[in-house]
Amino acid sequence: MPLLKDNALKGCSTNPNQASQRRQWQDPKLHQLRELQNKTWENGVEFEACLVAQCDSLIEALTRQKAKLLTKVTKEKESKLKTVKDQITHCTMKLRQTTGMMEFCLEVIKENDPSGFLQISDALIKRVLASQDQWVKGALEPKVCPEFALTVNTDPLMQSILQLDFTQNKAETPTVPPAPLLQLEKCCMRNNSATLAWRITTVQALPVEGYVLELDDGNGGPYREVYVGKETVCTVDGLHFNSSYSARVKAYNSAGVGAYSKVVVLKTSDVAWFSFDPTSAHRDIVLTNENQTVTCNSYDDRVVLGTAAFSKGVHYWELSVDRYDNHPDPAFGVARINTMKDMMLGKDDKAWAMYVDNNRSWFMHNNSHTNRAEGGITKGSTVGILLDLTKHTLTFFINKQQHGPMAFENLEGVFMPAVSLNRNVQVTLITGLEVPKSIM
């Protein structure tokens, strides 16, 4: 008995160790199986979504073709109806003419004077014969048939639909995604922003992990990445005005990066439409009229910038002086985004401006005042700013007339429209303007 007991105790001490080892070996395997289960579920959902997208694309194509065919049928129907209507109108007119002539003949027959009857009988006979000649044989026969000689052969398409199936059912070597399709009906330009949308058109064994959207520089230059991520729609802001941008997109997954889509070309607005930017304004600035009109709560000069940023091209905008009290000197011009907001525009090295009162003006940059010019502004005046980044110059206008010489030259970089004013002034921004021919 003691020997049996000892052997039993040894067996009991050995079995837990073996069980622990098996547990350590099985835990990772079980974790892998669970991960495989989750991955299979995710891939299944992705695959179903892609399949639905493919079928929806086929249905959309069939719907578009249906609309085209219906348009053809409608045109054919309208053509037939017009032919019949014209023929009915013609016959009705001839019938009325014949009826009138018959009534006239009946009245002539009633004529009791033989000599009078003989005088008009020859003319009457000629009219009757001419009327008979006009009623050509078959005049009342329809010129068109009611049937439509249009036949739609749906047999090949139906056969293709019935044969629609997966091209393979066995696991294949993972491949990179196909080239995405840029959806032109969803791509658009607004001012200097481009919105692009795309989709994958075929189901892949490996799901797409993301996309890379690229744009050129708007002048036929090299492409650059503007978006990398999982979304299938992207809006790119801050493009050059009056420029044509080429865009392309590619997809990637764990197997690598796929081919580029076809290139789509989008053109930005010819002229700049913008407003004042409340996020760039000093806290004393007050914006109204959908951020087109600006005034100030302070007697000190405060700065506000526009929402547009210019780095190329020729741009012109105006500011209408709505209120002008106590002869203040507001400043108008352009600035970098980080210009000082609590002082007159042009007092730092990040702004180029003209400040003006009711009888004279100065140009100012980096607190340097130059080119005093006689003539100022009043209520109702219009101040124009011409930023020519082709010639790299800045010129000012008052009431459409150039004010002073060319203000600044050798301008390089990115510039934003800017204004500084105090509570004695209110101005309204006017954009979307072409450069006046008188200025050019």
Mean pLDDT, the chain, integer: 85
The pLDDT of residue 170 is above 90: no
Q: Identify the CATH number of the domain in which residue 200 sits.
A: 2.60.40.10
Residue 408 lies in a domain: yes
Q: Which of 100, 116, 134 is the last residue of a domain?
A: 134
Residue 167 lies in a domain: no
Residue 273 to residue 42: CA distance in whole angstroms: 45
The pLDDT of residue 20 is above 70: no
| 244 and 218 belong to one structural domain | yes
| 303 and 388 belong to one structural domain | yes
Residue 3 lies in a domain: no
Give the strand pairing for 244-253 and 264-267: antiparallel
Q: What is the mean pLDDT of residues 106-122?
A: 71
Residue 140 lies in a domain: no
| 307 and 421 belong to one structural domain | yes
pLDDT at residue 147 in the model: 80
Q: Long-range pairs for 73-80 at CB < 8 Å and ≥24 separation? A: 73/148, 73/150, 76/148, 76/150, 77/148, 80/144, 80/146
pLDDT at residue 333 in the model: 97
| 233 and 356 belong to one structural domain | no
Of the candidate ranges 124-128, 158-162, 298-302, the one whose mean pLDDT is the lowest: 124-128
| 414 and 313 belong to one structural domain | yes
Give percent above pLDDT 70 in the chain.
Answer: 88
Which residue range is the domain that position 408 belongs to?
285-433
Q: What is the mean pLDDT of residues 373-391?
A: 95
Q: Identify the CATH number of the domain in which residue 385 sits.
A: 2.60.120.920
Of the candidate ranges 16-25, 104-113, 422-431, the one whose mean pLDDT is the lowest: 16-25
Continuous segment of H or E residues that includes residue 331: strand 331-335
Half-sphere exposure of 339 (CA within 13 A, CB side): 35
Residue 127 lies in a domain: yes
**Number of structural domains in the chain:** 3
Angle between helices 114-134 and 2-109 (to 10 degrees): 160
| 303 and 394 belong to one structural domain | yes
Residue 349 lies in a domain: yes
| 309 and 429 belong to one structural domain | yes
Residue 162 lies in a domain: no
* Residue 181 · residue 199 · CB < 8 Å: yes
| 376 and 238 belong to one structural domain | no
Q: What is the mean pLDDT of residues 197-216?
A: 88
pLDDT at residue 173 in the model: 64
pTM confidence score: 0.55
The pLDDT of residue 7 is above 50: no
Half-sphere exposure of 31 (CA within 13 A, CB side): 6
Residue 279 lies in a domain: no
Cα dist. 122→107, 111, 131, 247, 287 in Å? 15, 15, 14, 85, 93
Q: Which of 134, 165, 192 is the last residue of a domain?
A: 134
| 238 and 187 belong to one structural domain | yes
pLDDT at residue 180 in the model: 93
Of the candidate ranges 215-219, 292-296, 334-338, the one whose mean pLDDT is the lowest: 215-219
Residue 380 region by backbone torsions, left for phi larger than 0, else alpha for psi between -120 and 50, else beta: left
Q: What is the mean pLDDT of residues 119-133?
A: 72
| 325 and 419 belong to one structural domain | yes
Q: Which of 102, 118, 134 is the last residue of a domain?
A: 134
pLDDT digits (tens, 9 = 90+) for 223-246: 999 999 999 999 998 888 888 899
| 130 and 231 belong to one structural domain | no
The pLDDT of residue 299 is above 50: yes
Q: Predicted confidence band at 10 (pLDDT cuts at 50, 70, 90)?
A: very low
| 116 and 195 belong to one structural domain | no
pLDDT digits (tens, 9 = 90+) for 240-256: 888 889 999 999 998 89
Q: What is the mean pLDDT of residues 26-40?
A: 75
